[in-house]
Amino acid sequence: MSNKTKKQSGFGLVEVIVSISILSMVSLVLVSLSTMVHFNSENSRNRTIANSIMQDTIEEIHNARDSNVLSGKDWAGGIADDSKEISMDNKKFILSKKITDADSSLPSGAPSGSRKKIAITITWSESSGSKEIKAETYITNWRPKY
């Protein structure tokens, strides 16, 4: 009897199952990573737009105040609570402004009603849920006393 060993070529069943399992896990990780990148990209884009709306709103408030002062009108005229929907980049953003008196931290002798607190909130919806950003700023009556 001769003991001849045959060389096997190809892959066995165990090797094939292990390699398919590894490829499946790598594919799952890549799909999860791709989904996370998509959500983060969407969130970043929407936050950038919301911050731009926020900055524009603050600029509009300052411009209204300055125009009122320079034209001799009530410095806070036309600056009021407001809520509106803004569409940008096929996305709807809700802008809410809340104006309150903020005279408590002014020095004594300052005229009443010469400082306002502006609270701005912008909300929007995206695939991962509802999001919002908030900001507060103050405006004052800078009209000279003379």
- Residue 111 within a domain: yes
Q: Tell me the residue range of the domain where 58 lies.
A: 44-140
Residues 6+ apart with CB under 8 A from 110: 103
In a domain, residue 105? The reply is yes
Higher pLDDT, 62 or 104: 62
Query: How many structural domains does the chain have?
Result: 1
Q: What is the pTM of this model?
A: 0.73
Q: Tell me: the pLDDT tens digits for 31-83?
A: 999 989 988 999 999 999 999 999 999 999 999 999 998 898 888 888 999 99
Is 122's pLDDT higher than 60?
yes
Say if 16 falls within a structural domain: no
> Is residue 117 in some structural domain?
yes
Flag whether 90 is in a domain.
Answer: yes
Q: Which of 18-27, 68-77, 81-90 has the lowest mean pLDDT?
A: 68-77
Q: Report the distance separating Cα 41 and Cα 29, nearest Å.
A: 18
For residue 69, being part of any structural domain is answered with: yes
